[in-house]
Amino acid sequence: MKLLKESVPHIEKRDTIEDRIDEQAKHIKESRRPLPKILQEVNTLQAQIDAIKKGQEQRTDTLTSFDNQLNKISDKRKQDWDAKDKLRKQKDELNDEYYGALINYSKYQYLLSDIKWMTDMQKMLKDKAAQKQKYEDEKRARKEKYEREKEERKKREEEAA
């Protein structure tokens, strides 16, 4: 009996522990009852998260695509600007060459007109000199003729007298 009496506190302790275990088992069972709903909700939320992630990946891919397109456009624009600058430089060089040639042509034309003017003036001076010489020759010829006629008259008068 003594053994029985000594075992009573242990048995009570065991009973309280078993009661606690039973309570905890009840709580676990109660907490597991909504678990399928929670798991279903978790799966639904996970599906939504996956859809959102997929949308974000598509958006990221789209943004990356846009960035690549913008980079290509920027590169193209830069190439176009470089080509445009090159063409402007070439145009300026051609304009310089053209206007330089035009200036040289104008100088050449002025030179030709000056040469023509000088030639014309020289011809005019020669013509004037030739005309003057002709006039002088005619004048001399008339004077000589007059002198000869005068001498012939004197000779005739002397012969007649």
Q: Each residue of 3-61: pLDDT tens digit?
A: 667 777 877 888 899 889 989 888 888 776 766 787 888 899 999 999 989 888 988 99
Cα distance between residue 84 and residue 2, in whole Å:
114
Domain count, the chain: 1
19 part of a folded domain = no
131 part of a folded domain = yes
Cα distance between residue 88 and residue 91, in whole Å:
5
Please report the pLDDT score of residue 37 as a whole number. Answer: 80
Full domain range(s) for residue 56: 34-160
69 part of a folded domain = yes
Please report the pLDDT score of residue 161 as a whole number. Answer: 65
104 part of a folded domain = yes
Find the Cα–Cα–Cα–Cα dihedral 109, 115, 120, 125, rounded to 10°: 160
153 part of a folded domain = yes
Cα distance between residue 40 and residue 34, in whole Å:
10
Overall size of the chain counted in residues: 161
126 part of a folded domain = yes
Please give the angle made by the CA atoms of 44, 29 and 43, to the nearest 5 degrees: 10
Q: Long-range contact list for 43-49, CB < 8 A, 24+ apart? A: none
State mean pLDDT over 150-155: 88
State mean pLDDT over 135-150: 92
Does the pLDDT value for residue 160 go beyond 80?
A: no
pLDDT band (50, 70, 90) for residue 1: low
pLDDT band (50, 70, 90) for residue 112: very high
149 part of a folded domain = yes
Q: Each residue of 51-101: pLDDT tens digit?
A: 989 888 988 999 999 999 999 999 999 999 999 999 999 999 999 999 999
Dihedral (CA of 60, 65, 68, 69) sign: negative
20 part of a folded domain = no
